[in-house]
Structure 1
């Protein structure tokens, strides 16, 4: 799948939309309650089952855009969901969010917030249900999905509030777990936001991967070792040569065999774009579903003086 981008203008617009939502909710304390967001936006939420497609057939039968029915055969919606392997979708007609009831509970909060994002980003209705050459372009769809993810993150982590709170604590997996619980989000999404938003000026990276010693933990459905490789803005700029393959090979060589809990806690030396070596603190943790890695810049690596 293509990796979409969020343009600067689009990001500013989405931040403004999220600001308005949070303001109308009274600037709530974490965790954000999505039912209150749905009530504010007049969104309906239903769960569907592909094994019992009655709800999907009913929705497809009623779907209209600009007053015209858009699906002549109701089962087409089911075919689209299966072909695209969708877990959820937002239907503008009726302002309804549909989520596959087979989605694990831990993932439903993020998926719901993603679809909420589609619903309040005004240009998404045209992109998701348009049929011209531009809206059907794969790059366009990837960007639309990236924008919905951006909106979900701004909502669930209450704009910049999470980053401020994260900067006030030393980041370990214990503190990431505490922040995840406070904001009501998964450890994986909390790790992601910690890397990208805690301090954009400090090089840091995160990784969600398989366990190098246990094939039944964390492997991508497509067989890939690394699911996500997350980098702070400073890391992207200063360490462009450090790839997910390098980090995976380090994990393979360094990780312990435990199936749960810490599997590595130490340092790694990385070379920046100017050839300067830097020391990073790195911690790897197994939550039984995947290996979560967090690394943050500590200092320039000490010079090694040869003994004469």
Structure 2
């Protein structure tokens, strides 16, 4: 995500997020997004396949990839699904729409994502701009990456999360404690902990299938790995190591427990110079995926 967001855009978005937090009086975590919407004069609505009413009045004004949608809300839902949109922001109405049929745990991130769209000035130009721009897939990916970047900076209070994480032990227990403090999902907190706690230290995060229970976390097509993230330090020192290499470590150090702490041990990865480097592994199963945190020691 960060690779798609330019350094200048990152600085601009961070300034916008800092202003929001200042306008809220620099609150303590967790961030209450309803207060953010109040400050920004944004309204929040939900829509679903069983109740298209909220979309009816604005159906004729919505564009997806620069194309005007039809005025029939029922047909519009099909278009939104095909476009894989889980939320919408309408600049003229200052409204955010969220698909209420998504798991509630995802609503917070989607709302923060749409809030970012609403405050980044050039996003309005993109969403309401000419077709050549909005139909460019790379441009669309960049705009979405910027919204994700802003959402993360917002609900994790800019650099504050990194400072708080650095004050904690590098363990999964710390990740769960920070999850409670910030009110975000375990997965997003896990991701942020790996990337931001100490970027220069080689560390990684893996979301995967349980090595001993095929019914827990099996991905599409039977793939065992869902997502893999690594710190800047890891990428620099282990450029040749991929997600399946890390999954091998998880498999060797996983217990047969189906829930709770399931990965614990010390294993070795070879860095780009051929040196053996020890990693402490700490993994947790939430009953449908295994999240493993690894850090060089």
Aligned equivalents of 2:25 and 2:98: distance in 1? 28
Given that residues 63 and 93 in structure 1 are in contact (C-alpha distance below 8 angstroms), is that contact kept between their aligned partners in structure 2?
Answer: no
TM-score, structure 1 as length reference: 0.89
Given that residues 4 and 144 in structure 1 are in contact (C-alpha distance below 8 angstroms), is that contact kept between their aligned partners in structure 2?
Answer: no
Other structure's SS at 1:219 match: coil
TM-score, structure 2 as length reference: 0.92
Stretches of structure 2 lacking an aligned partner (at least 5 in a row): none
1:177 aligns with 2:176: yes
Match of 1:290 in 2: 289
Given that residues 263 and 286 in structure 1 are in contact (C-alpha distance below 8 angstroms), is that contact kept between their aligned partners in structure 2?
Answer: yes
Given that residues 105 and 185 in structure 2 are in contact (C-alpha distance below 8 angstroms), is that contact kept between their aligned partners in structure 1?
Answer: yes
Match of 1:10 in 2: 9
1:73 aligns with 2:71: yes
TM alignment of 1:79-118, pairs within 5 A: 79-118=78-117
Question: When you count helix as a share of all residues, which structure comes out higher?
Answer: 2
TM alignment of 1:1-308, pairs within 5 A: 5-61=4-60, 70-75=68-73, 77-221=76-220, 223-298=222-297
Instruction: Give the deviation of 1:278 after TM superposition.
Output: 1.0
* Deviating more after overlay: 116-125 vs 20-29: 116-125
Cα root mean square deviation, aligned: 2.1
Q: Go from structure 1 to structure 2 and tell me whether the alpha carbon gap of 1:12 and 1:91 turns closer, same or farther (over 3 Å shift).
A: same
Stretches of structure 1 lacking an aligned partner (at least 5 in a row): 299-308
Q: Go from structure 1 to structure 2 and tell me whether the alpha carbon gap of 1:219 and 1:114 turns closer, same or farther (over 3 Å shift).
A: farther
Aligned equivalents of 1:35 and 1:295: distance in 2? 35
Q: Go from structure 1 to structure 2 and tell me whether the alpha carbon gap of 1:260 and 1:104 turns closer, same or farther (over 3 Å shift).
A: same
Other structure's SS at 1:269 match: strand
Task: Deviation per CA, 1:79-129: give whole Å up to 9, x if none.
Answer: 321212322121222111111111112111111111111111111122234
Aligned equivalents of 2:295 and 2:177: distance in 1? 19
Given that residues 204 and 296 in structure 1 are in contact (C-alpha distance below 8 angstroms), is that contact kept between their aligned partners in structure 2?
Answer: yes
Instruction: Give the deviation of 1:4 after TM superposition.
Output: 6.5
Task: Deviation per CA, 1:264-286: give whole Å up to 9, x if none.
Answer: 21112111222222111111110
Task: Deviation per CA, 1:181-237: give whole Å up to 9, x if none.
Answer: 000011111111111111111111001122223333223356532222111111111
Task: Deviation per CA, 1:49-88: give whole Å up to 9, x if none.
Answer: 1122222222214559xxxx95453335323212123221
Given that residues 2 and 149 in structure 2 are in contact (C-alpha distance below 8 angstroms), is that contact kept between their aligned partners in structure 1?
Answer: no
Match of 1:306 in 2: none
Aligned residues: 293
Aligned equivalents of 1:154 and 1:17: distance in 2? 10
Q: Go from structure 1 to structure 2 and tell me whether the alpha carbon gap of 1:3 and 1:213 turns closer, same or farther (over 3 Å shift).
A: farther
